[in-house]
């Protein structure tokens, strides 16, 4: 399989399916949906084949392909995956057909075409190893997401889509400026691949980037030291990823966007697109800016703690199920930022430090994967509730649904317990590894983040109690339980929650060597 351009095939397969749908005649909504599902399922089969053939004992990139693209400035079409990239590719392959199955149908060819185009952007982002190539797909993923929110969203969708676009574009512009500065420094160093992530990381770790930047940009008047200039470039880069992740206080676009987007699209926004920001922290910021993260570690950790605690606290104040889950996503992804920022910490015993950094980083990637599955499932259940209740999704609109929909209640409850980190389900393992690593590396940060766990449990159990427990609201005495088709849609993500909770090694075994290698260079 290494001899095939398999990652290129995987990336452009959704583009082919999207184009095919666009050129179909109007009035073929059933065929549009079937084509989108078929394309996403073929992509899923390819991702599973990649996963099975991926060598977890190898920390380097696999399934690589390199082609000269813009040789005058050293830009390559360079794709490949290590354990981190492979996990995100698998997550994308799983979530897109899941969201399409949850979609009610009849949305029109534009909807299905844009979903596939979004999938191509995600695949490209998680496999690109050259900044220009990567940035193209980073931006391309924004376009279909904007039109999906605007065209098929709720009453305030136009405003939410505009807010989403502006926030992410500001972050992208900051990121682009930062990498243009790095490109100038790389040119002075005469790097063969000045936009290659690996080449930039190697130059940064050897201490060559900072002096080259200072000479290239000639900004000594503004920044008194080379380190000050590097910290400024780091902050520009961080802004792009902090918005997408999101990290407090750059999260304010998220609640409105997740609430107004059609719920299957919200499944993709929270399940996959938010992971683009976390992936950027691990793939780009940690290898290139470890010294800058260490220098600014304390304020960065406080931002992560604020995301964890304030995200959960804000969720407790909401009554709309989608807004509750939106703020809960800020809380859960805050743990990822906490692990990343803590991983640069110094310990006297370097062997112990390597073990704890590896634990924190493994927990971060496992949390990314687990949150993608669990959050998508929760939003999927909310979509089914909306469909049955004529668009209602408030906590006070329901009550006692377990009496008329016990299977629905049971599966929804499993997803809630997985989200709050119940042992035996997927959410526990990632959070345990994060706190194990962070507590050893920066004990105070772990202590201040702990209330987020308690608040998360409180808010999710509150949802379970107010929607499904207590006396039955007579308005919903005919509330239907899951149909056989819906049951078959919701069983696979539920099975994954148990599989990752009981035997997480099937995922960690593919990640560990990659993340140990990353931890070793910090």
In eight-state DSSP terms, residue 474 is G
For residues 313 and 480, give the distance between their C-alpha atoms in angstroms, rounded to a whole number. Answer: 32
Q: For residues 309 and 451, is the Cβ–Cβ distance under 8 A?
A: yes
pTM of the model: 0.91
To which residue do tokens 């994308």 refer? Answer: 92
Q: Is residue 332 part of a domain?
A: yes
For residues 228 and 210, give the distance between their C-alpha atoms in angstroms, rounded to a whole number. Answer: 9
Phi, psi of 61 (to 5 degrees): -80, 145
**Non-local CB neighbours of 503 within 8 Å, separated by 6+ positions:** none
Mean pLDDT, range 234-251, rounded to an integer: 87
Q: Is residue 118 part of a domain?
A: no
Question: Is the per-residue pLDDT at 437 higher than 80?
Answer: yes
pLDDT at 123: 94
SS3 per residue for 93-127: HHHHHHHHHHCCCCCCHHHHHHHHHHHHHHHHHHH
For residues 300 and 368, give the distance between their C-alpha atoms in angstroms, rounded to a whole number. Answer: 19
Q: Is residue 310 part of a domain?
A: yes
Question: Is the per-residue pLDDT at 338 higher than 90?
Answer: yes
Phi, psi of 130 (to 5 degrees): -125, 135
To which residue do tokens 């889950």 refer? Answer: 325
Take residue 424 and report the two structure tokens written for it: 């035996």
pLDDT tens for residues 273-324? 889 989 999 988 888 888 888 888 899 999 999 999 999 999 888 888 889 9
Q: Which of 14, 37, 34, 10 is nearest to 24 (CA)?
A: 34
Q: Is residue 405 part of a domain?
A: yes
pLDDT at 405: 87
In eight-state DSSP terms, residue 128 is B
Q: Is residue 244 part of a domain?
A: no
Question: Per-residue confidence at 351, pLDDT binned at 50, 70, 90?
Answer: confident
Q: Is residue 185 part of a domain?
A: no
Answer whether the bond into residue 246 is a cis peptide, omega within 30°. Answer: yes
Q: How many CB atoms lie within 10 A of CB 483?
A: 11
Helix 406-419 and helix 350-388: axis angle, to 10°?
150
Take residue 68 and report the two structure tokens written for it: 């000269």
Number of domains in the chain: 1
pLDDT tens for residues 377-400? 999 999 998 888 887 888 888 888
Q: Is residue 148 part of a domain?
A: no
Q: For residues 71 and 86, is the Cβ–Cβ distance under 8 A?
A: no
Q: For all residues of the chain together, what is the average pLDDT?
A: 86
For residues 228 and 206, give the distance between their C-alpha atoms in angstroms, rounded to a whole number. Answer: 18
Phi, psi of 347 (to 5 degrees): -135, 145
Mean pLDDT, range 467-491, rounded to an integer: 87
* Structural domain boundaries enclosing 301: 296-522
Question: Is the per-residue pLDDT at 51 higher than 90?
Answer: yes
Question: Per-residue confidence at 220, pLDDT binned at 50, 70, 90?
Answer: very low
pLDDT tens for residues 130-184? 888 888 899 888 889 999 998 887 788 888 888 888 888 888 888 888 888 877 7
Answer whether the bond into residue 249 is a cis peptide, omega within 30°. Answer: yes
Q: How many CB atoms lie within 10 A of CB 82?
A: 22
**Non-local CB neighbours of 185 within 8 Å, separated by 6+ positions:** 203, 209, 212, 213, 216
Q: Where are the beta strands (DSSP E) in 95-250?
A: none
Q: Is residue 204 part of a domain?
A: no
Q: Which of 236, 248, 440 is nearest to 329 (CA)?
A: 248
DSSP string for residues in 51-84: HHH--TT--S-EEEEEEEEEGGGTEEEEEEE-HH
To which residue do tokens 């377990």 refer? Answer: 402
């Amino acid at each position: 399989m290494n001899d095939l351009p398999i990652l290129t095939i995987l990336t452009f397969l959704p583009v082919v399916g999207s184009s095919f749908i666009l050129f179909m005649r109007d009035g073929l909504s059933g065929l549009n949906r079937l084509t989108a599902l078929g394309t996403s399922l073929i992509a899923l089969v390819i991702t599973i084949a990649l996963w099975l053939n991926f060598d977890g004992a190898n920390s380097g990139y696999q399934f690589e392909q390199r082609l000269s693209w813009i040789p005058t400035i050293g830009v390559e079409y360079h794709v490949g995956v290590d354990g981190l990239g492979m996990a995100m590719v698998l997550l994308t392959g799983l979530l897109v057909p899941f969201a399409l199955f949850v979609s009610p149908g009849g949305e029109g060819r534009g909807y299905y075409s844009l979903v596939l185009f979004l999938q191509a952007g995600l695949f490209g982002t998680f496999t690109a190893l050259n900044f220009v190539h990567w940035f193209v797909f980073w931006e391309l993923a924004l376009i279909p997401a904007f039109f999906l929110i605007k065209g098929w969203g709720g009453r305030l969708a136009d405003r939410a889509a505009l807010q989403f676009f502006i926030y992410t574009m500001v972050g992208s512009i900051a990121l682009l400026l930062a990498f243009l500065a790095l490109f100038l420094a790389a040119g002075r160093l005469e790097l063969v691949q000045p936009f290659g992530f690996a080449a930039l990381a190697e130059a940064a770790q050897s201490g060559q980037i900072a002096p080259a930047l200072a000479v290239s940009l000639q900004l000594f008047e503004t920044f008194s030291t080379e380190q000050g200039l590097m910290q400024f470039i780091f902050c520009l880069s961080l802004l792009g990823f902090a918005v997408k992740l999101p990290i407090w206080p750059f999260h304010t676009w998220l609640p409105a966007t997740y609430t107004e987007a059609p719920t299957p699209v919200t499944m993709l926004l929270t399940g996959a697109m938010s992971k683009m920001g976390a992936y950027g922290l691990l793939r780009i910021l940690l290898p290139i800016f470890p010294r800058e993260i260490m220098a600014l570690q304390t304020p960065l950790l406080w931002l992560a703690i604020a995301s964890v605690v304030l995200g959960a606290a804000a969720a407790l104040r909401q009554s709309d199920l989608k807004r509750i889950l939106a703020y809960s996503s800020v809380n859960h992804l805050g743990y990822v930022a906490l692990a990343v920022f803590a991983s640069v910490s110094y310990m006297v015993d370097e062997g112990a430090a390597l073990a704890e950094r590896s634990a924190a980083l493994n927990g971060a990637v496992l949390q990314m994967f687990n949150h993608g599955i669990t959050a998508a499932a929760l939003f999927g259940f909310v979509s089914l509730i909306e469909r049955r209740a004529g668009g209602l999704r408030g906590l006070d609109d329901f009550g006692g649904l377990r009496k008329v929909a016990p299977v629905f209640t049971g599966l929804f409850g499993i997803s809630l317990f997985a989200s709050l980190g119940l042992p035996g389900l997927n959410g526990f393992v990632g959070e345990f590894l994060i706190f194990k690593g962070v507590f050893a590396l920066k004990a105070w940060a772990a202590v201040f983040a702990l209330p987020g766990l308690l608040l998360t449990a409180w808010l999710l159990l509150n949802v379970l109690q107010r929607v499904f427990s207590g006396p039955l609201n007579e308005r919903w005495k005919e509330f239907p339980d899951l149909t056989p088709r819906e049951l078959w849609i919701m069983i696979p993500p539920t099975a994954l929650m148990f599989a990752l909770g009981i035997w997480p090694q099937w995922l960690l075994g593919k990640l560990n060597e990659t993340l140990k290698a990353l931890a070793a260079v910090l």
